[in-house]
Amino acid sequence: MIFTVAIDGPAAAGKGTISRAVADAFGFAHLDTGALYRAVGAMGGDPVLAARNLVPEDLVRDDLRTLGAGQAASRVAVIPEVRAALLDFQRRFARRAGGAVLDGRDIGTVICPEAEVKLFVTASAQVRAHRRWLELGGDAAQVLAEVRERDDRDMNRADAPLKPATDAVMLDTSDLAVAAAIDRAVAVVRARLDLALRG
């Protein structure tokens, strides 16, 4: 069975945690598409060449979760040739047999507009910056400034800007505990999956 769950949202909204939990709950494969861009950004050199030569081993580097890798990802993600090089990889993963969950910033709008489920996970910039600060440390004001800078870059890039798909279910995690956010996402996916199985 082919069943795609597209989960989009800004940095530190909780989409990665929710995506992994949804994949586990239903036995679906999971792809953190941000890791593709983080890997390309972390490699340095020519980002287009790096994107074209990306291999699965590049996605398990130890430095992909750093703030620097996130900023590098956001910078290379605005390059149309990088996005094009990674597009087929993501689409093939999304339509694999057995179900797939992909999280990123343009999954429901560009990568998988035909996804059976689309979620847009968000939270206020202040909440997201606090989460990132708890994860990485540093100067709290600087982390907030970087979150806002990244939001601006991601939402206003010419190619595939961050925005919810018109048919996405919105999930604001600002005031939700992790377990509650996961429960809501799982409930949405279960309802759509049940419909697909009955259809």
Q: Tell me whether residue 11 is annotated as binding.
A: yes
Q: Tell me whether residue 34 is annotated as binding.
A: no
Query: Residue 66 contacts by C-beta under 8 Å, 6 or more apart in sequence?
Result: 136
CA distances (Å), origin 68, targets 43, 59, 115, 134: 12, 16, 31, 16
Q: What is the pLDDT of residue 39?
A: 94
Q: Residue 164 belongs to what H/E stretch?
A: none
Q: How many CB atoms lie within 10 A of CB 135?
A: 12
Q: Tell me whether residue 17 is annotated as binding.
A: yes
Beta bridge partners of 171: 121
Q: What is the CATH number of domain 4-193?
A: 3.40.50.300
Q: Are strands 117-122 and 100-104 parallel, antiparallel or unpaired?
A: unpaired
The tokens of 188 are what? 């949405």
98 φ/ψ sector (left φ>0, alpha ψ -120 to 50, else beta): left
> Average per-residue pLDDT in the chain?
93
pLDDT tens per residue across all 199 residues of the chain: 899 999 999 989 999 999 999 999 999 999 998 899 999 999 989 999 999 998 888 988 888 988 788 889 889 988 999 989 999 889 989 999 999 999 999 999 999 999 999 999 999 999 999 999 998 899 999 999 999 998 998 899 888 889 999 999 999 999 999 999 999 999 999 999 999 989 7
Q: What is the pLDDT of residue 37?
A: 92
The tokens of 186 are what? 């799982």
Domain locations along the chain:
4-193
CA–chain centroid gap for 117, Å, is 14
Q: Tell me whether residue 4 is annotated as binding.
A: no
DSSP 46: -
Q: Tell me whether residue 12 is annotated as binding.
A: yes
Sign of CA pseudo-dihedral 75, 93, 101, 111: positive
Q: What are the two backbone dihedrals, phi and then psi, of residue 150, each rounded to the nearest 5 degrees? A: -65, -40
Q: Tell me whether residue 41 is annotated as binding.
A: no
Q: What is the pLDDT of residue 135?
A: 87
Q: Tell me whether residue 47 is annotated as binding.
A: no
Q: What is the pLDDT of residue 56?
A: 80
